Amino acid sequence: MSDAFRFETFVDVHSNVFNEYLGSVIAKLSRENGEYRAVRAEIESLYEKYPKVLGVFDTETSAELTEEECTALIKVMELRNKLTDMEISLLRSPPANTPPRTAGS
């Protein structure tokens, strides 16, 4: 009987919908938010200046970094966190045409 029944969670069934929605949020931020674009540009600039920093994210092997590269890596992580915070903030905000919620609703 266990072969005939497979329990699927909401996330299992609808994860592609959420991923599409998240992609649209990121596209909207990239298109409409200058601060978001500036942070992404700063990250790209750091990757260009310190290619080994990008390599940290692209490989599963350890990498030797100079002190300057370590500082750049920390900055990139801070900036990536800032991008994530901006994305989460937009995800949490109600759509523009949604009336505000009141107590009891």
pLDDT in tens, 25-77: 888 889 999 999 999 999 999 999 999 998 888 777 788 899 999 999 999 99
Rounded CA-CA distance 105/101 in Å is 6
Closest CA to 101 of 47, 92, 90: 92
**What stretches of 34-66 show up as alpha helix (H) in DSSP?**
34-49, 51-58
User: Stretch 5-26: mean pLDDT, rounded?
Assistant: 77
Coil, helix or strand at residue 14: helix
CA-based max dimension of the chain: 59
Coil, helix or strand at residue 92: helix
